[in-house]
A and B are shown apart, each in its own frame.
Chain A
Amino acid sequence: MTGEERAEVPGLSALWLSGATLEQTAESVAQLALALRGCDGAGVQMLGAAGLDPSVGTDARSRDLNDLQDAVDDGPGRECLRTGAPLELHPTTPATAWPRFTSTARAAGLLACSALPLRSNGSRVGVLNLYAWEGMQFVGWDRSECDLFAAHAGVGLTNAQSLARNVQDIARLEHELGSPDDVYAEACGVLMERHHQSLSEARAQLAKAASQSQSSIDAEAQRVVKSLG
Chain B
Amino acid sequence: MTVGRGKGTMDAILCTDARPLIPAWADGELSEAQAAPLRAHLLGCRDCRGSMQDLRALHRWFDAGAVDGSSLVPPGFAARVARRAFAGDRGERAVSAPFELERERDGRRTLDFVLWSTAAAALLVVALSVALRLRDLPSSERLRADSRTPQSTEEILNKLEELDAREAGLALPQADAAHEAATKPVVDPASGAARR
A and B: partners?
no
